[in-house]
Structure 1
Amino acid sequence: MAGNRYLFEEAIQKANDSVWAEAWEPAISSYRRALAEFPDDVSAMMGCAWALLNNKNLSEAIVVYRRLTELSPTDPGPYERLAEIMERTGEPDYAAGFYLGAAQRYGDQKLASKRTSALEAAVRLRPNNIRPWNELLKIYQSQRDINKATLAALWLVYLNQTTNRERAIEICRDAETFSPHEPSIGQALMLMQSNRTIPQPPPIGSEARLPEVADLMPDDGGEGSPVEIARQRALTKLAESIFSDDRPPVKGMQSMEVGLLIGQAVDAQTRGDLVKALKSYEVLLNAGISMPSIHFNIGLLYKEQMQFDNAIVQLERSLSDPEYVLGSHYSLGQCYQAKGEFREAASHFLEAVKIVDIATIEREHVDDLIRVYEGLAQNLMNTGEAERAKKVSESLVEFLGQRGWGDAAMRARGRLDELARSGAVLSLVELVSLPNSEKILRSIALAQEYQRRGMLYSALEEIMNTLSEVPDYLPLHHLLATLLWENNDADAAIQKLHIIARTYEVRNQPPQALATFQYILQLAPLDIPVHRRVAEMLIQFGRIDDALAQYMQISDAYYQLAQPERAREVYSEAMRLAPRGSAERNWEVRILHHMADLDLQRLDWQLAIKDNEEILRISPDDERAYLTLYRLYPRTGRMHLGINILDSLIKRYLTQNKVGNALTVLEDLVKSEPESIPLRARIAQLYLNLGRRESALEHLDVLGDLQLEAGQKDAAVKTIEAILALDPSNREAYADLYREMTNTEPPPPRQK
């Protein structure tokens, strides 16, 4: 509905004057008056948003800019402003998304420079996003900017190397064509072709240099066991410390003397004179020198001389340094293994493999993988089976002791991730602990290839043959269940998955059990007992928000099963848990709305009223609850309460200076109830209060007719008086009606 153009222009002029004077509060007020006349005017809304932003009213500015993205979807400006605000308020994910939105629109408008800046801002905030890097690479190459193009190419290689190595190699080759003399690209290609990885490149816009060849080379070079790699690293560190100040001060010993002892120890250890090396290290320890590199080296020397208790003490002191943590755990495992303490040995070997495994998995799955290893360690400690611990230790020593163990870990991780697509995150340690693990990996790969080609019987046969060798490896059973499902044997698939989940629980591996139960629900979403078990496990893990979401799914399942009473019982259970959920998720209100909807469908008006009254007690601004009560009270014979609750909502909006919300509510209600006298009276009065004469007259005219039809003569007379006071263009017609109804002369029009 069109507003008053004169009032609008007047408010805009005042707003512009205030903006010129940088008087932001008056500017905001003037823009709001203008928007009350024409709520969707883009220029007024732009000005209001800008004033709010300068006045640091960021939350309100966000609302206005979001509305602008709807009203002017091709304009990049609101997207860029939203991105800047989100960045300032610590929301990098949202900021990056809005920068991408701005970049797309700048591109549509052929504004290349602004598009590039927006893309760079997006990857600065969230560098692990492939799409903007792809676009930036094309831009930089078109600009012949070798440094920036190289950086973009390296980021794309880094992001693709674990999930799409062929694409990473293709990027390297394309980049080599563009800049054939860039050494970092050639090195990255070599690493990709040898199935290795590159480290994370520097961020865009930083002063960091591009990676040199040495930066791209893995620390271990793929050679030797973790202990050999860590030993060499420790010797290098100690040798470097001789000529630097990178040594802790020692009372009673000069720096030169400390350097001499370190040099003697390193030289002796390098030459294989372990006795002399040990004596030099012991002198340093007795003098109070504590360096992780010394503790690690002396621990190794004690181990090689079979002084395992002394070795354990020193190796535990080197665990705190990330450079030696892998080698220290491996060596500690060897010490405990030599002492016959197989559970302790297995625990340290488990930690060593965990470190390797975490380095191979995608970041988003790291927390899940850590929980898997925690469960495995707990299970190993609880069983007390020395023979099992011994076998686990031997398998892990064999795996970490082989040449190229890093590459083997990467290959295994790729297969495990394929195997885990529909289930829990899988650990490397469970696989390498199996006999003939390489053969099992090949069998899994073959079965998955059969599966991709639709050769399900061949895939089933391959998996069954492998299971005959390793019947306890549950991921294979999970793959078998998936194949059964694809072969339309749904009952057998779900039955097997139930067995897998319960077995994980018996083995004290709750993360895998939970993931399996959740996979069952993907296949059988109405399985109530599984829903219940998932909710229980989520509560045990402290994942209350996820548990509450699960309760909502349980209620929905009951509703689909035509059991609304049970659905409501579950909502009641969820309400008892809701106070433990995240405050920002507003769980109590969300659950009560679902309960109210359910009660409405069951035609239980009283319960639905109770639900919505409780919502308003918790969340007094909930418009949906107000309007539901407005409709429900009359159904229970309490018409006056319906109007009262509507008045409360309108009053609340007006008190909060949300006139637009109040008008929207009343306009929507009038559209659905055009013959409602109370609604017409309220919207007419609100328009009168806002000075919107034409809108007020429109509703007053209808109101008078409705009152006359209802026999409300006195009320109709008052309505006609209100119309006459506004001096409408057809005033004489209303004046005649007034004389006819009252036998008196009408009142004069209100002075303008």
Structure 2
Amino acid sequence: MTERQEVFEESMRLGHSAAWDLQWDRAIEYYRKALSLKPDHPGALTSLGLALLESEQYEEALKVYRHAGKLSPEDAIPVEKVAEILEAMNDHKAAVSQRKAAVELHLKRRDVDKAIDNWTHIARLAPSDLETRSRLAMTFERLGRHRESVYEYLAVASILQRLKKVDRAIEAAQRALRVIPGEKESARTLRMLHQGKELPPPPEPRGATAPLRMEAVKDFVRADSIDDLAVEDSAKADPESVAQTRALTILAGLLFEDDDGEGQDNDHPVDIGDLTTGRISKERESIGHPQMLRYLGQAIDLQTRGNKRQAIAEFERAIQAGLDHPAVHYNLGVILKNMDENEEAIKHLDQALGHPELDLGANLALGRLARMRGDLPEAARFLLQALRRADSLSVDESQSGHLNELYDSILATQSDGDETTLSQIVESTLSFLSGPEWLQRLRQARKQLEGQTKGASLVPIAELLEVGGTERVLQSLARIDDLIANKHLSVALEEAMLALDLVPDYLALHLRMAEVMFLQGHSSGGMNKLRIVAKTHRVRGQIAQAANIYARIIRHSPIDIVARKQLIELLAQQDRVDQAVEQYIDLAELYRQMAEIETARKTLNDAYQLCQRSNVSREVVIRILDRMGDIDLSRLDWREALHNFERICELDPSNEKSRSNLIDLNFRLGQETEAANALDTHLENLVNAGQAQEALTMLEDLAREYPGKQALHSRLAEAYRAAGRIADSIAQYDALGEIQLDAGQRQEAIQTIETIIKLDPPNIEGYHELLHNLRDGK
């Protein structure tokens, strides 16, 4: 990478970082610096435009976006941004005109969803625009979105009545009735038209909102960390609310690509404008999620405005479009819970269990819901899980494993408690974790326990709340550990089985039994025991513990495909995406070794798609794409291989293997222009790296492998001339001239012969004669 390119990319990164922090003046400064190096770079222009727009420098932003639009006339984004600026300047007529232009660009690319977005903006600005409302109605009807279609047909009827075209208004109302027969509003509208009554004015489209602004969302979701909660009174909140704020922060990050420098690994600069319009980077867009993020943006905007009912609908549409993230499920679950839609709330909250930042809130919310419906055993289970997660905040990370075992013991001993005991657990735990002072209570409780034990063994806060009763179990566990350490394996197994009579559901005992079985050489018994424990953890909603057991299974049996798939799913559910992706890569390699190539390819593609939903390092993404490309080459699927190597070169222009494959595949596919472009980039990289001889050798190899390619002969001739090998250069130019003459490219051949003559070949008279004949048309 050249120094100029490095300065450009660094300026873009700094600009994005400043934009995320809402420091627009700094962002503008960095983007202008980037543009001084590449004045017509589309990403830099649109990023500068966004920064100017957010800082309300509308006139300047308008100029920048219009310039970007001239450079990329097929790109609808600058057109949409011009519309947004004009709307902010209250020039609604001009904004509508720009939105209509954007619609046509999207329709040309057959992107109906984005066309609908722009029609919706038009209808919001100009509710009586007959053409737009008609196109919306017909498009919704074709897409099977019948409710929205009816809504728009009725708006059309209202517009037509105001234009004194009552017959056509009646037709529009009848069309609405054909879409949903018997629909009450359609029938009422048709009746009013027949009676000559005036219809209400056409309303705005459902779910229509003004363009989502970055600052508004960041203001809404900005939240301090848990540690800060203990310090600043203004930030104190119930754990359920804290988790919801964190969920919204995560969701906003999907829209705005948090560019704080963590995990970026020198990625190429992303167009910050893409991030605030619900769009995503080119890599993400390739897997088809722009629609999902548009719904998400609308949902967050509606939620910030307090329109919860419509926000629920948009969140559900985002989920249906592919947004399967614990954060969206948690946020939606809490909204539904607060609106007393408890059954639906439970479904979504269940899917947030296990996420490290949402698990406490999810268990607390589910415990409260179970208590409301009188299910005390279920409420106790969820609330003890919430207390376990809260208690882990009060101890060192090195103690968390032991603390988990203690809570497993408590859960096991309480599973069959009587109603009075369960009620005490529920009420004491709920009281402890509820309200704004929960974190202060947590720290005071831990301090009290440490003062009582004075360095003795760790005690869970549950014991302080009188939820314990586990002393016999823990004593038994200590004896088993001592027996295992002294190699008394059979006795240890017997002791574990006796302890299970007291607490059959205590999973730590089952794990000790599995450990003994492995030490005794009974691997199949140990594996079966681990599988049962993992499944039980999962049923209980203990996602992290289940993942740890599946990881142990894989360590014992790396070829256990079922366990690896379960582990991947659980890691992704906890947002441990880096680890999930590595497991995908290992699974793909396992399939490859088993000669299941198609399955290996699909597994790698699953890994790649998971990468697009998180901030996985560039090196890992390249590794996945490289393996996919290699498999495509082995299957002779050259076009798919080409696609993967192109994506690698976008991420890492200096990647020699991918660039070489790009050149080779384009030549194989007969795409000589694309091959030449890739070749020029690769040659430039080699020369800049001081590898001129390697560049020449590569050209010679390619010319032998693909004889008759003009792009190769011309570049090889030039390389020979630069190296002082004039005779070799003339020979290549000579071959190039013959190819051009055979192809009927007279003017190109004339230029080639003129170049040869400048090199003063031995038989220069013959070349002069040939040049004369060509110019005379002979």
Query: Would you call these one fold, judging by a TM-score over 0.5?
Result: no
TM-score, normalising length from structure 1? 0.39
TM-score, normalising length from structure 2? 0.37
Q: Larger Rg: 1 or 2?
A: 1
Structure of greater relative contact order (alpha carbons < 8 Å, 6+ residues apart): 2
